[in-house]
Amino acid sequence: MPSHEIDISEESGVRYLHFGSAWVQGAMRIRRPIDLELAYTREMMAGLLMREDWLSSAASPYRILLVGLGAGSLTKFCYWKLSNAHCTVVEINPAVWAAARHYFKLPADDARLTVNIADGVEFLRSDSGTYDYILVDGYDQDAKVGQLDSVAFYESCRARLSLQGVLSANMFGRSRHYEPSLKRLATAFGQRALAFPSCDSGNVVAFAAHGDTIELSLVELRQRAVSLKAATGLDLRPTVTRLEQSHSLPGGVLRL
């Protein structure tokens, strides 16, 4: 098990999680503990735009797997904002889980939330569950991901996705050299992978899909972002605008 330090800091009404270094591993605005404070966490939820029947909390992805807990931001959003979702979390360090419960208002396990203290690679290798949405955001104190960024791990993720499944992965620390990671993801998913342009924080969020082909114009993405905001409060319109301004979607169409 990891032995790195767990540090908590606060500034301007925001509480931060650190793993014994200056790297921010998670954040929570104290007065709005369910909101996604960090831009990349909001972007990791952009998979909700990619399947039409996921646009409301009542019809959200039913089974969600989160690899890496951090401050619990993504877990809390999925648990509280997607009322139909069952969330399974894999976190290797029990001290991170304890910090998320004590300092970041992570709810206790119940019928809709299960936290497993385990290695994400080993969990996916042995798990027999099926998930609609997999979110990968696991880092150590040096902002490294190890085998969570490997073809074998991504293949395990693909094997556990439902026929409409979507995966999102945070590629923080690799914003300037994320191409090898994206290539590994694409290899595992039969070339069905893409990366959004870097966030202001330097994070690159990549997506991969299984099942029916996804093909959405920028107009459709913006319309879905409006619907998602109405349903959950999450505003991904700035993400759609950044996609448009960066000209990162060939022909103005997201294909996955």
CA angle (115, 193, 183) in 5-degree steps? 100
Q: Which amino acid is at 205?
A: V
In a domain, 12, yes or no: no
In a domain, 16, yes or no: no
Residues acting as catalytic residues: 137
In a domain, 48, yes or no: yes
pTM: 0.94
The residues, ordered by sequence, that sit 6+ positions from 122 with a Cβ below 8 Å of its Cβ are none
Domain with residue 64: its CATH number is 3.40.50.150
| Mean pLDDT, 10 residues at a time, the chain of 256 residues | 79 93 87 96 96 74 94 97 94 95 97 97 95 87 69 97 95 70 96 89 89 95 95 95 92 96
In a domain, 53, yes or no: yes
In a domain, 32, yes or no: no
In a domain, 9, yes or no: no
Q: Which amino acid is at 185?
A: L
Rounded to whole angstroms, how far apart are CA atoms 159 and 189?
10
pLDDT in tens, 198-237: 776 678 999 999 898 999 999 999 999 999 999 999 999 9
In a domain, 97, yes or no: yes
Split into its structural domains, the chain has a count of 1
In a domain, 95, yes or no: yes
Q: What's the domain range around 133?
A: 39-255
pLDDT in tens, 72-91: 999 999 999 998 899 999 99
Q: How many CB atoms are closer than 10 A to CB 108? A: 7
